[in-house]
């Protein structure tokens, strides 16, 4: 017997991958606060809440390097896959990761309310 399984995630299309330059970011407003969507030099896409865990700096305005972003306020490097600070600042907070999918070149962000 096959059971119909509902996806617990609601997905919202926020634009085309090419809307974000390589090693760049875009800010997307949401009901829970701004979301920063990043595109790395190798074309991977990541999404974090747009708030550094250190002093709340806008990560979307930081410099993307490798798979991390440097906060524009105090230069903390934040790993894009986990939202965790790197190096000596590891373990001092986290920028929450936002669920993300890329389908047919479109970026979809998720909200877990079914």
> Could you read off the pLDDT of 13-65 as tens digits, one per residue?
999 999 999 999 999 999 899 999 999 999 999 999 999 999 899 999 999 99
Give CATH for domain 17-106. 2.102.10.10
- SS3 for 18? helix
Mean of the per-residue pLDDT values of the chain = 92
pTM of the predicted structure, to 2 decimals: 0.89
Strand arrangement of the beta sheet that strand 68-70 belongs to:
63-65, 68-70, 77-79
**67/84 Cα distance (integer angstroms):** 12
Express the helix, strand and coil content of the chain in percent, nearest 5 each. 10, 40, 55
Q: How confident is the model at residue 77 (pLDDT cuts 50, 70, 90)?
A: very high
CB 38 within 8 A of CB 46: yes
Q: Is 98 exposed, middle or buried (0-12, 13-18, 19+ CB in 10 A)?
A: buried
């Amino acid at each position: 017997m096959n059971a119909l399984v509902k996806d617990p995630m609601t997905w919202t299309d926020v634009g085309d991958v090419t809307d974000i330059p390589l090693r760049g970011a875009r800010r997307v407003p949401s009901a829970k606060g701004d979301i920063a969507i990043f595109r790395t030099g190798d074309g991977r896409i990541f999404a974090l809440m747009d708030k550094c865990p250190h002093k709340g700096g806008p990560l979307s305005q930081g410099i993307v390097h490798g798979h991390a972003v440097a906060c524009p306020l105090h230069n903390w490097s934040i790993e894009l896959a986990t939202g965790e600070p790197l190096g000596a600042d590891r373990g001092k907070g986290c920028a929450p990761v936002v669920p993300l999918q890329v389908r047919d070149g479109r970026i979809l962000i998720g909200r877990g309310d079914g």
